[in-house]
Amino acid sequence: MAAALRTCLTLVALVALLDGCGASNDSKVTGDWFGKFVMTDGKTVPGANLTLDDHHHWRELYRNLDVQGRWRLSGDTIILNVELYDGLLVADAKKLLLSKAAKEKDPAIYKSIADNLDKPMALTVNANGKSLSRVDPGAEGTAIYTRDASTTATPARSPGRQTITVPVHLTPGKTK
């Protein structure tokens, strides 16, 4: 009985230790990331802003578009899974995007987003941890995110920028 209890406590301690190790790696990428898009011809356009929180929720804002979901870190890759696209669950967002595509002269962008909305997106963390990148062959370029020097795991105000912290609570079946 004592040996079984000792084994059980050892396993609990080992799991807690391993769980703690993963959390410290995750904290290296949490916070605010500011995006730009570099086209294959070298032109740069403003991109989306991305927040990764320590509860493994993410939020990306681009103009009036708000995309949210869950994230995980695997080695030097952040995997993003979309749960809400502009306040809609993925299935509803796909229907809306396909409906918009049917009304457009050039429906390719809407179809592409709808087709890929439920697929994980991978961001590569660069070697020094100061930028993230995602090659998007359909858009002919690379999304690059850099960290604001004042950003920590808990977003706060920084000189020249105002960061608004918005708690993300995802409830299946709820929309805007």
pLDDT per position as a tens digit, 25-58: 888 899 999 999 998 898 999 999 999 999 999 9
- Let me know: does 50 contact 163? Beta carbons within 8 Å: no
Token output for 36 = 């730009």
Q: Dump the DSSP string for 123-151.
A: EEEPTTSSEEEEEEGGGTEEEEEEE-TT-
Q: Which CATH architecture has domain 26-88+119-176?
A: Beta Barrel (2.40)
**Whether the model pTM is above 0.75:** no
Q: Is 66 helix (H, G, I), strand (E, B) or coil?
A: strand
Cβ of 78: how many Cβ atoms within 10 Å? 23
Q: Report d(CA 81, CA 36) in Å as an integer.
A: 20
CA-angle at 12, arms to 8 and 15, nearest 5°: 135
Running along the chain, 176 residues long, what does each successive block of 10 average in pLDDT? 42 37 73 92 92 96 94 95 96 94 87 91 90 80 81 40 37 47
Domain map (residue ranges) of the chain = 26-88+119-176
Residue 77's alpha-carbon distances to 15, 52, 116, 136, 163, in angstroms, are 23, 13, 18, 15, 25
pLDDT per position as a tens digit, 154-164: 433 333 333 33
